[in-house]
Amino acid sequence: MKPQNDIAIELKNITKEYIIHHEKPTLVEKFYKGREEKFIALNNINLIINKGQKVGIVGLNGSGKTTLLKIIAGITTPTSGSVTTNGRLVSLIDLEAGFHPDLTGEQNIYLNGMLLGMKKHEIQQKLHRIIVYSGLGKFFDACLFTYSEGMKLRLGFSIAIHANPHIFVLDEGLGVGDDNFRQKAKHTLLNNKHTRTIIICTHNLELIEQQCTRIIILDQGSIIRDGGLEVLKSYGRYIT
């Protein structure tokens, strides 16, 4: 047993630089230009998130929220620093990404579920529950391009939540879902209160207020506040 097994995510000295693409780089340009213009999206971030914490990340546009989530999710690698995550991590950074429009809902469940790290037999077992939860009804074997935005969102969320993640990373909340579905999603997220770590990043302060116990405010690639719900008040002042 590891001594610190209550840690879900640990980030150490994370810095992420992006090269600014003013125009599409071509092979030739690479040679005569040499140095590229850089943009620091995250600047020396240190962060420990314990298991079961519900963390809300807020910040203005361009403050590095999505980059931080992507690094936590492992979708991109930091320029320097190290990331450690414990447990199965599922990220919903782009809710409907990874669906193929020409495949049916059911086929997409398999594809998407496996991309999220589920085993095939696991999906077979959960298939019925995923379909019921998403409320697709008789559309589950229709091609995905016939789905509405809300249906895609519900399907994406349903697959992600049935992957039974220990750590759930969610970007920009559940904006397209209707009230019913949002209630259901909220209920599911709040279940497993002690074991599931949730990281939400959104501009919807209300959602954060209801769901999160820890707030992190990002500004220009750095964490400027980190604390309980009271931090939100200072954020309100900060943006006005």
Smallest distance, another protein to C-beta of residue 37, A: 14
Find out whether 10 and 78 touch, Cβ atoms under 8 Å.
no
Give me the helices (H) in 135-204, please.
149-162, 179-190
Nearer to another protein, 7 or 127 (CB): 7
Smallest distance, another protein to C-beta of residue 45, A: 9
3-class DSSP state for residue 130?
A: helix
How many CA atoms lie less than 13 Å away from 22 in the CB half-sphere? 6
Nearer to another protein, 92 or 212 (CB): 92
* Among 78, 116, 74, residue whose Cα is nearest residue 95: 116
Smallest distance, another protein to C-beta of residue 222, A: 5
Here the tokens at position 234 are: 């200072």
Residues at the interface with another protein (CB under 8 A): 2-4, 7, 10, 12, 18-19, 24-27, 30, 44, 46, 48, 70, 73-78, 82-91, 93-94, 97-100, 102-103, 107, 110-111, 114-117, 119-120, 143, 219-220, 222-226
Nearer to another protein, 127 or 143 (CB): 143
H or E, element range at 15: strand 7-19
Nearer to another protein, 41 or 151 (CB): 41
